[in-house]
Structure 1
């Protein structure tokens, strides 16, 4: 009986029909199914693997291999590509170097070098950036360098006293400093020119520090006095005493030698150094 059973099994194997396995490597799952169906075979996905050569969702290999015989009506096992194995560099900005290292290694990546950089936005001791950049997709085991913030870069406040406001502001902001302005009347410094700076020029300050510019508004305003009916010389003396410039208009004959009109009128506020017209009769 044993001999008989073995003889029947061998006969069945010898007489079962087989077909060569089509070459479906590199095809999509749908295309491979169609190719196998054409010769009476079916497809079974046995595994999915990462591949640097075979794009996502295409077939890496088949079992049986292309050209090998497979029983008619049988199934062909395939390994399907998951595409290249890539990992995203995690967002570690603002973390401590220790926590950043843990996040990077947890993402199947490696820690590279650590450097220190000045950064106006990130507190000292926290990660400011990575190389490759955060969010980049890289191969497993890629080395990621981290830059740790030393805080804002210290800079020397420039000397801008005597410069026009716009020029002074540019000189300061170009260094990463902030600018605030305060206006003040000055009889000696022209309007729009910097009178003083706080902190003082030469002071070493972190970038991002606010620097106050005290800017001249020019001479203070003066109220024009009432000059009507004053003697000419008295009116001139009063105007000069207030820092105003008298402009005298008089006819050939001025028998009274007194002011009969003025421009601007009394009470008008004008800058020191302005002219006031007086007419003499």
Structure 2
């Protein structure tokens, strides 16, 4: 998607209720937007099916199925669905909005989770999935992308787009749905899914949380599918030795190739997890506290009785003799001074031992309490002000490297001296486009953050599109941002590109007609021909104006003139009102004919016919008269005279001083008998 193009859904009001604010994510079937429910005044997530799938009834039914499946569930660990409908041919559903991240993003930031973290997430997902299984719904697409971790600590399952009724046990047909990395063997081999298929996917997710990787890898999806169908998932502890045996067994149980060897549903697996946490009959992860050896209590005084008095056990200490034959035993390395204590009676010795045990137990508990307090204090200091304290990486995008470094340093992070370089069409070269870990990620204070610095847009080869059709040019410019074209009339054929323009990095206009390179996603404007301006000369004014209007031009009758060749009321000539480029909406000046110019007819009466004829023809008039057939005319012609030079005009029609027009015919009369020859 082009960075410079705006999503048309942003700002749109759906069904008169949901105002779209921004885009959250885009998937294969739909795009999710953040919107405001204007009726209840709360933020919601609106999932809108892609427009190109609107005509596909199978996709549409699957989309509606998600709404129905999720709407049947009411559980704290399942994303709530509030509404579903259709607006302008776009199917949509309205869901609970959870600010936060997905489990996939958490794994990208931290890779491996602790057993405690993995168990917490597993417990929440199992609880939500158990509600679905109890309602007869199989999710069929469990993966880290569909586990949402809200900022307030809630964990929820979303995206029931592939959910089906558990009782249906239907096959997927020719194509396997879901993500290949989490498909159960029965889905791969038989295309059949039930509640145990969800358990298998959850077992793969638990393996990934504990090890930071998926159990099966391959260059092709079929390689991974083959391993799901034929191999046994290894124990997570083979990759991460810190994984306890109980979680190893839980992963192996959930990912058994035979569905009958797995938990029957999420409830059964959740109950087993509770037993592990309680340390029940099936085993559990016991959390025991071991005292440091330096704080172990001193062994108590030991006594035993021999033939002549108390006798030390072999190798336990030193012997001191007294006059009474009594022997007192002290731990090795300790020396006693003073008189020897006489032997106690059996009752007194029993009471003394009992009191000693009570004192020792009290001392042990005191030591335990002190140690626990110190551990708690140390933990609090570690996670609040020490190296173990957590903090969110601040957003430093679109700031300079020095500004970003100062911001991160002030928040207690270290900034790596090595920077990542990345091309960007939206962030100027030299500015920060992001960080690794990403902005908003929760990491330890003092963690090292790597800056991702923009190199600006890539410089690409620029195609020559002048002289090509507009559609061909736009296809060739797919790596650039082609804006709305400019159109003008020209002598070129319609839809042919006349010129191409862009802007420099400083924002100045740039002619790209002869450019060989240009920056990626740079703005491009095409100037396209509308074809020649129609020629309307010779047409009537109304016809000429209609012809011009059909192509977006306005014909104005601005002048009129006499014309000997163009009929009155028709266009003699045309010209654009303003000099320069002609575009739609421009005015064309029309000069309209008034017909031939009027002529005042001269009086040719009394003039020789030849003289009159010449004068009238010089004015553009036509002359007619009867041929002379008299004897005098014949005689004159025989003698070589032009009889028209001998006879005079007796009258003319029309008469002299009449108004005529060029091309009119004037009739002359004469008397041939008046010819005098010789």
User: TM-score, with normalisation over the residues of structure 1?
Assistant: 0.48
Larger radius of gyration: 2
1 or 2 for the larger relative contact order (CA 8 Å, sep ≥6)?
Answer: 1
Which protein is richer in strand relative to its size? 1
User: TM-score, with normalisation over the residues of structure 2?
Assistant: 0.23
